[in-house]
Amino acid sequence: MFDNPALILNTATTPSGTINWKSPSNIALIKYWGKYGVQFPRNPSISFTLENAFTQTILGYEPKTNQGDGISLDFTFHGEENEAFKTKMVKFLESIRPIFPFLNQLHLTVKSGNSFPHSAGIASSASSMSALALCLCTLEDELFQTLQDDTLFDKKASYVARLGSGSACRSIYGGMAAWGETSAIIGAANEYAIPFEEEMHDVYKNFHDDILIASQGEKSVSSRAGHALMEGNAYAAPRYQQANDRMQQLVEVLKNGDVETFGKIAENEALTLHALMMTSDPSYILMRPNSLKMIELIRDYRATTKHPIYFTLDAGPNLHVLYPENIIHEVRPFIEEQLVPLCEDNMWISDWVGEGPEQLDT
Ligand code: PMV
């Protein structure tokens, strides 16, 4: 869709430069789980873009002196060389050369870092791949002036981010973003995400999503392996149908502000995601005992106080606690007194629906 063999440089006149983007993570309410082809989703998904959990990536470029064919990259993460991350990035950059053929002609320097500790067990692929995709689209535009149209720029950045990590395509937009074909949202596509903000009821615009770190450990099963296991999962077909039906229901409550139904769908989606992992072959469990304790406490607190506080989960043990801004003063003491002591090293991140990526000065 975005392959472009014409994007070749005259290196004799190519300048050097630096590009700096900060891009957030996102939390899905309808979960993407199961894929086909090159990162196409088996079902539609929709997410809140976060504000405080982000990656900052600085991309430096200069014309290569020796015009070998490979990707030439220096890479540091939080100021230190990281061979594992670098190898992954080189592989990814190689795979997208039909989109950005000029990558062969440049020497690149990538300096990347997250706002949250790498060890926190928070999925960083959405923020890191979206930050990199944004840097690459800005690079194309600086060199060829081909992405002056903001809508086209975002679409291409989302497309490229998707190739790096499916869920990353939704991080390009502030507020909410939807990805995957669905009749519930006009324009929704498998190739890239689209923003959903315009139709969102006010109550969701500053919704909170506090991230409670139940365990900081590395995941025992990567999401790549998890997606692959959906191919043999007995519940796969009904799950994809369910996700489609839920998209319709959720879009309705996102428009009308019915927070109770919103919370019911969000919790059920989280538990469905983990149920799919538990029913895969081989089966696996990513929740930890304290994840379940926190879920019980949230449900008890809700039943007692009638406050609209809900949870969702990523493909990991950490709880995302969802609640509207107007109950923050009641909910915060509950979180700090009852949930935070269940977190590893008392670690948690106060987060909320954010405004999306930002290009920073270099
Ligand atoms: O983007 P991936 O391939 O790491 O998949 C992540 C999928 C979930 O985070 C579990 C759900 C989602 O839609 O973000």
- 318 CB within 6 A, ligand 1: no
Report the chain's mean pLDDT, rounded to a whole number.
95
For residue 307, give the DSSP letter: -
Query: Is the confidence at residue 64, as pLDDT, over 70?
Result: yes
CA of 250 to the centre of ligand 1 (A): 18
CATH of 17-199+355-359, one of 3.30.230.10, 3.40.50.450, 3.90.1300.10, 3.30.530.20: 3.30.230.10
- Range 19-31 average pLDDT: 98
| Beta strand residue intervals within 251-327, DSSP E | 310-313, 319-323
**Residue 297 structure tokens:** 């406490």
- 25 CB within 6 A, ligand 1: no
Q: Beta strand 45-63 with 106-114: parallel, antiparallel or unpaired?
A: antiparallel
Q: Are the CB atoms for 90 and 69 separated by under 8 Å?
A: no
Q: Which fold has domain 202-349?
A: Alpha-Beta Plaits (3.30.70)
CA of 276 to the centre of ligand 1 (A): 13
| Top mutation candidate among 26, 29, 31, 35 for ligand 1, by most atoms within 8 Å of CB | 31
pLDDT tens sequence across 88-136: 999 999 999 999 999 999 999 999 999 987 666 676 799 999 999 999 9
For residue 31, give the DSSP letter: P
List the chain domain ranges.
17-199+355-359, 202-349
Helix axes 125-144, 83-95, angle to 10 degrees: 50
pTM of the model: 0.96
| Top mutation candidate among 29, 32, 286, 313 for ligand 1, by most atoms within 8 Å of CB | 32
- 165 CB within 6 A, ligand 1: yes
**Residue 105 structure tokens:** 């002609």
**Residue 171 structure tokens:** 């991080």
Q: Is 85 exposed, middle or buried (0-12, 13-18, 19+ CB in 10 A)?
A: middle
pLDDT tens sequence across 174-188: 999 999 999 999 999
Identity at 229, one-letter amino acid code: L
CA of 344 to the centre of ligand 1 (A): 23
Alpha helices in 37-149 (DSSP H): 83-95, 125-144
- 127 CB within 6 A, ligand 1: no
- 32 CB within 6 A, ligand 1: yes
Q: Are the CB atoms for 157 and 133 separated by under 8 Å?
A: yes
